[in-house]
Amino acid sequence: MAASVGVAFFAVIGQFLLLDYLEAKAIQQPQLLLIGAVVLLIIMVFSVAMRPAYLEFKSIYAALIESEESAKRMTQELNKLYNELGKSYQDLEAVNLVSADPTILMKLNPDGEIVYLSDHFKQIMSVNGEGFASNLFDWFKEENLNDDFITSLRNILSRGEAWNGEINVTDLDGDLIWLDLSMQPVTNGNSGETKILAIGRDVTEVKEAKQRSREINREAIEKRVKEQQYRSVLILEGQEEERKRISQEIHDGIGQMLTGLKLNLEGITPSDSPHMKKRIRDTKDLMKSVIKEVRRVSFNLTPSSLVDFGITPAMKKISQEVTALSKTVVEFDNKTNFINRLDKNVETNLYRIVQEAVNNGIKYAQADKIVISFEHNPSHLIVVVEDNGKGFEFERLEKTGHFGASGHGIFNMKERAAFINGSFDIQTKLGVGTKIIIKLPLS
């Protein structure tokens, strides 16, 4: 850019010179010399006066160019993996396009004796002079190919039939080679002699490209899955923090105000009017119901027992709270006396799974009884939530894509189990209740 400014300036001067020349064809030689001297003086003055600004501008411009190039390099490095992933299949197709045409690699007697090796085959197998096997089947044995395959191939060729396939061998330099082979018995019409022609090509690059493509795409898929899981975990963590905040505000704000209002109502001395007594009594009952509902909502948002004491006390608490606040009896059976604390995220997600299962048992299955059980060994914790509700057709629900209300709950439970590296299983039928099993690694 700096250079172009100077070029533009001199171009303008050149235009003035050209115009002066065209307009002054009749001017005498001394006058032309005078004009040229004046123009040259102008150029020299401009160069001296503008040089500091030009140098500063050039320095700034160079810094900007370097900054731009640095940004480009960083962008290229960050996008390198994605570019490679995007081109993996195209690279594979390119390799396929340049694969060599099949050629004769060797000639054999029917017993497998090798009577001819082509130069191309010697090049593929890095054969220099002697040192290669004299019999096809002996070579295959040296390559540790399957005995059943060798026997089958021998039988096929002895019957005068053709064979096609790929084999993986090692050249004399120790490198793995993939050969695409076709073996065809050929009989000379005059002599009646039969030879076996081995026609093929080296497909090692194609095989390796396919393998690289599979690995790259598998890594890309795994990367996307992990990124999606990470984003989901962040969302869940954000939800838990928001639940905790709302629960705290309900407990400390609305809950305290309702309790104070209840105490004020209880301190009111009713008049002798039966109507007034009934209204105050109804108001007290309503207030008790509101406080009970606020308590339930606050507990469902974030149970303090989970944060303070861990998953086992939280299971005891949820069974007690749900039993007290609903018509369903919820029991907790800690079969192996599991008392360990787990990672915060693991405890939170496990609690939400159980909470969802219990809520589904009450809301959808209309269960009278729900049992939460813990059982553990050194490697795993097994959590079971079982109800005696009406059950449902799980296979039909899966086919619908979990779009129903209860289906979303099941989908969320499965996702949470996956986030904490656990397995999720559900057993249910119409009329026989539902059993949910979560198996969680303890390592």
Instruction: Examine residue 237 and state whether it is found in any structural domain, yes or no.
Output: no
* Boundary of a domain, candidates 96, 130, 157: 96
Residue 177 has pLDDT above 80, yes or no: yes
- Most confidently modeled range among 75-79, 135-139, 218-222, 304-308: 135-139
Q: Calculate helix-pair angle for 204-249, 344-363, nearest 10 degrees.
A: 70
Output 369 or 143, whichever has higher pLDDT. 369
What's the domain range around 426? 303-441
Residues 127 and 77 in one domain: no
Q: Are residues 8 and 85 in the same domain?
A: yes
Residue 288 lies in a domain: no
Predicted confidence (pLDDT) per residue in 29-75, tens digit? 554 454 444 445 444 544 444 454 445 445 544 544 454 454 445 44
pLDDT at 7: 39
Higher-pLDDT residue of 124 and 38 is 124
Asked if residue 119 and residue 77 are part of one domain, the reply reads no
Residue 286: inside a domain: no
Same structural domain, 111 and 181: yes
Pairing mode, if any, of strands 423-428 and 369-376?
Answer: unpaired
Regarding whether 58 and 184 lie in a shared domain, the answer is no
CATH value at residue 181? 3.30.450.20
Kindly report which listed range (79-83, 264-268, 297-301, 315-319) carries the lowest average pLDDT score. 79-83
**Alpha-carbon span 22 to 238, nearest angstrom:** 78
In this predicted structure, the answer to whether residue 103 has a pLDDT above a threshold of 90 is: no
Of 194-198, 297-301, 334-338, 413-417, minimum mean pLDDT range: 297-301
pTM of the model: 0.46
In this predicted structure, what is the pLDDT of residue 205?
83
| Summary count for the chain: helices (H), strands (E) | 13, 10
For the chain, what is the domain count? 3
Q: For residue 78, what pLDDT is reported?
A: 45
Query: What per-residue confidence (pLDDT) applies to 294?
Result: 73
Range with lowest mean pLDDT among 69-83, 263-277, 366-380: 69-83
**What percent of the chain is predicted at pLDDT more than 90?**
19
pLDDT greater than 90 at residue 435: yes
Q: Examine the domain organization and report whether 87 and 31 are in the same domain.
A: yes
Look up the CATH number of the domain holding residue 357. 3.30.565.10
> Does 92 lie in the same domain as 108?
no
Q: Note whether 17 and 77 are same-domain residues.
A: yes
User: Is 91 a domain residue?
Assistant: yes
User: Is residue 54 in some structural domain?
Assistant: yes
Asked if the structure places residue 245 within a domain, the reply is no
Q: What is the pLDDT of residues 361-384, one digit of tens each?
A: 998 889 999 999 999 999 999 999
143 and 178 together in one domain: yes
Please say whether the beta carbons of 58 and 2 come within 8 A.
yes
For the stretch 310-365, pLDDT in tens is 999 999 999 998 998 888 999 999 999 999 999 988 998 999 899 999 989 998 88
Q: Which of 102-116, 219-233, 291-305, 366-380 has the lowest average pLDDT?
A: 219-233
Considering 202, 232, 264, which residue would you say is the last residue of a domain?
Answer: 202
Is 24 within the bounds of a domain?
yes
Confidence band for 399, pLDDT divided at 50, 70 and 90: low
Residue 31's contacts (CB-CB under 8 Å, 6 or more residues apart) are 24
Instruction: Give the separation between CA 417 and CA 162, rounded to whole angstroms.
Output: 54
The residue with tokens 């009450």 is 362
* pLDDT of 443: 75
Clarify whether residues 127 and 90 are in a common domain. no
Q: Tell me, what's the pLDDT at 58? A: 52
- The answer to whether residues 142 and 161 belong to one domain is yes
Tell whether 67 and 192 lie within a shared domain. Answer: no
Residue 12 is predicted with a pLDDT of: 39
Residue that terminates a domain, selected from 72, 96, 120: 96
